[in-house]
Amino acid sequence: LSERIGHSLDRVKGRGRLTEDNIKDTLREVRMALLEADVALPVVKEFIEQVRERAVGQEVLKSLTPGQALVKVVHEELIRVMGSEREALNLRGRPPVVILLAGLQGAGKTTTTAKLARYLQETEKKKVALVSTDVRRPAAIEQLETLAGEVGSSFYRAAEGTAPKQIADQAMEYARRQHADVLIVDTAGRLHVDEDLMQEVRDIHAAVEPLETLFVVDAMTGQDAVRSAEAFGQALPLTGVVLTKADGDARGGAALSVRHVTGKPIKFMGMGEKSDALEAFHPDRVASRILDMGDMLSLVDEVERKVDRDKAEKLGRKLKKGRGFNLADFRDQLEQMQSMGGVSALMEKMPGAGKLPPGMANQFDDGVIRRQVAIINAMTKQERRKPAVINGSRKRRIAQGSGVQVQDVNKLLKQFTQAQKMMRKMGKKGGMKKMMRGMQ
C-alpha cells in the first residue's frame, strides 16, 4: 500500500493549500486502506467525509506534498475518532464495584476477565472477586475458576442449575462478604446475536448495576464487529470496549468501526492469550496500523518538527531573488539534515526516493555533517558569503581552526559547489526531496 500511496504522492507536488483536487487521489488510496483494514463500509464513507471537510483549505508545509499532508490529517482524525485521551476504568463507587463483560462467544470475555483481575490487583492494588454466569457452555465456569486460581482472585461458584441472574445476585453477596473492591462478572456469548442472549445479559446487568459495562470484541472480526457492536450497544448502556486479539494479523479496522458505532471509548487491548497480555488502548498505534503508512507518517512528523520553517522560506525567497546560495545557506541545510538523523535516514523513509548510491550513504551522516558544519564555522563571515576569496592560506587557517586537514576543507568546498549548482538548477521549484537528491 505504501507503494501505491507513494505513487499518487508523486503526482501531487506541494502547492500551498489542500484542495478537493489535490487530495482526491490520496483520499481514494486512504479509502482503500481503510477497507483493506476491514473498517466497515458505512464507517469508511463517513470518516472520509470528515477528513475531507477538515483537510480542504489547510496549509501545506513547504517541504511536504499535499498527499503527505493529507495522510497526516487522516492519521490525526483517526486518533481523534478512536479517542485521543486515555480512558481509565471508573471504579469510583461503593465497593464492591462491578465490571460486566459482554460480547459474542469466543470474543475473549473469559480471558479478559482474568486479565482485568490481574491488572486491578497488581496495578491498582484492588481485591478482586470473579464470577461466571455462563451456564450454557459446560466448561465455561471451570475455565474461569481455573484462571481465577492462576491470577489469585477469589471466585464465586454457584450451585449446579442456578440461573444466570441468580448467580449474579449471589455473587454480589459473596463479594460483599469477601470485602472485595471489585467484582468482575463474565457472561455467556453466542456465535450470533440473538434476543435470548440479550435478555439474559440485560437481566444480569439489572441485578448487579455495574459501573463499567464493557463490550468485548475480537479485532479479527472486521466487518461483523459493526453488527454485534450495534446489538450490544442497543441492549446495554455500554461504558467502554475491550479490543481483543490485537496481537493478531488483523489491521484493526474493527477498532474504528466499533468506536464509531458505540461511541464508547476503547479502554483496553488484548495482546495475547496470557493473563498479563492486556494493554491500555493506544489510538496512535492502532491508527498507524490501520493506515499502514507508519514510515511516511514518521517522515512527515520529522519534517514538521525539525525543518525550520522560516529558514526554509527565507532560503526560498533568496533563490527566487536570484541571490547566490552561499556557505551559510549550505550550513543551514546541513544542520537541518543533521537534526533529522542524516540524509540516509531521511532517504529511507521517503516513499519513492530510493536508496543512496553506494559510497554516498555515509557522506552526510551525523559525524560527517558535524565536521562540515565545524569547518564552515571556522570561516569568516566574508568567506562564507564569498567562497571565492578562500585561498591557500585561508584554507590552512580554516583547517586549523576546525581541527581538520586542508584536504577536508577542499572536500567541503567541492561539495558546496555541487550543492550550489544544484540549487541553481532547481531554481524556484524548491522541495526538500529534490534538494537532497541533487546533493548526492
Q: Of 75, 126, 165, 245, which lies in the binding site for ligand GDP, with binding defined by CB under 6 A? A: 245
**Exactly one of 108, 210, 253, 283 binds ligand GDP (CB under 6 A); which one?**
108
352: left (phi over 0), alpha (psi -120 to 50) or beta: left
Candidate residues 213, 244, 262, 336; the one interacting with ligand GDP per rule CB under 6 A:
244
Contact yes or no for 253/286 (Cβ under 8 A) = no
Q: Residue 153, interface with Mg ion (CB under 5 A)?
A: no
In the complex, what is the shortest distance from the CB of residue 267 to Mg ion, in angstroms, rounded to a whole number?
Answer: 19
Residue 424's contacts (CB-CB under 8 Å, 6 or more residues apart) are: 325
Tell me if 106 contacts ligand GDP by CB under 6 A: yes
Q: Considering CB distances under 5 to 8 angstroms, the limit depending on partner class, which of Mg ion, ligand GDP, none binds residue 111?
A: ligand GDP
Among 371, 387, 369, which Cα is nearest to 379's? 387
- Tell me how far, at minimum, the Cβ of 71 lies from ligand GDP, in Å: 29
Distance (Å, whole) CA 435 – CA 425: 10
One residue of 24, 162, 176, 272 binding ligand GDP per CB under 6 A: 272
Q: Does 111 bind ligand GDP (CB under 6 A)?
A: yes
Give 68 or 113: the residue with its C-beta nearer to ligand GDP. 113
Q: Which does 107 bind (CB under 5 to 8 A by kind): Mg ion, ligand GDP, none?
A: ligand GDP
With vertex at residue 181, the alpha carbon angle to CA 235 and CA 281, rounded to the nearest 5 degrees, is 55
- Confirm or reject binding of residue 50 to ligand GDP (CB under 6 A): no
Stretch that binds ligand GDP, among 33-41, 164-172, 242-250, 285-293 (CB under 6 A): 242-250
Cα of first residue to Cα of last residue in the chain, in angstroms, is 28
DSSP letters along 44-109, please? HHHHHHHHHHHHTT-B--TTS-HHHHHHHHHHHHHHHHH-SSPPPP---SSSSEEEEEE--TTSSH
User: What is the nearest approach in angstroms of Mg ion to the Cβ of residue 214?
Assistant: 14
Q: Which grid coordinates are listed for 337?
A: 539534515
- Answer yes or no: is 72 a known binding residue: no
Q: How far, in Å, CA of 428 to CA of 440, rounded?
A: 20
Report the partner that residue 253 touches, choosing among ligand GDP, Mg ion, none (CB closer than 5 to 8 A by kind).
none
Stretch that binds Mg ion, among 25-33, 93-101, 103-111, 204-212 (CB under 5 A): 103-111
Instruction: Indicate whether 67 belongs to the interface with ligand GDP (CB under 6 A).
Output: no
Q: Is the peptide bond before 95 cis (omega within 30 degrees of 0)?
A: no
10 Å Cβ neighbour count for 339? Answer: 14
Applying CB under 6 A, among 72, 75, 109, 433 the residue interacting with ligand GDP is: 109
**Binding to ligand GDP by residue 83, rule CB under 6 A?**
no
HSE of 50 in the Cβ direction (CA atoms, 13 Å)? 16
Strands 182-186 and 278-280 turn out to be: unpaired
Does 189 count as an annotated binding residue?
A: yes
The kind and range of the H/E element at 309 are helix 309-321
Integer Cα distance of 115 and 156 in angstroms: 17
Select the residue interacting with Mg ion from 110, 244, 262, 363 (CB under 5 A).
110
Window 189-208: residues binding ligand GDP (CB under 6 A): 189
Q: Among Mg ion, ligand GDP, none, what binds residue 6 when CB lies within 5 to 8 Å by partner kind?
A: none
Applying CB under 6 A, among 18, 43, 107, 207 the residue interacting with ligand GDP is 107
Q: Which is nearer to Mg ion, 136 or 385 (CB)?
A: 136
The residue (of 205 and 245) whose beta carbon lies closer to ligand GDP is 245
104 is in an annotated binding site: yes
Binding residue per annotation — 110? yes
Q: Which of residues 122-151 bind Mg ion (CB under 5 A)?
A: none
Is 146 part of any known ligand binding site?
A: no
Distance of CA 267 to the CA centre of its chain: 16
Closest-CB residue for Mg ion? 110
Taking the C-alpha atoms of 276, 277, 280 and 281 in order, what is their torsion angle to the nearest 10 degrees? -170
For residue 272, the minimal CB distance to ligand GDP (Å) is 5
Q: Tell me whether residue 106 is annotated as binding.
A: yes
On the 0-12 / 13-18 / 19+ scale of CB atoms within 10 A, 220 is: middle
User: What phi-psi label fits residue 95: left (phi over 0), alpha (psi between -120 and 50 degrees) or beta?
Assistant: beta
Nearer Cβ to ligand GDP (25/186): 186
Given 145, 247, 279, 292, the residue binding ligand GDP (CB under 6 A)? 247
Residue 252, interface with ligand GDP (CB under 6 A)?
A: no
DSSP element (H, E) containing 233: helix 224-235
CA angle, 111 as apex, 108 and 112 as ends, to 5°?
80
* Contacts to ligand GDP by CB under 6 A: 103, 105-111, 189, 244-245, 247-248, 270-273, 277
Which residues line the annotated binding site for GTP? 103-110, 186-190, 244-247
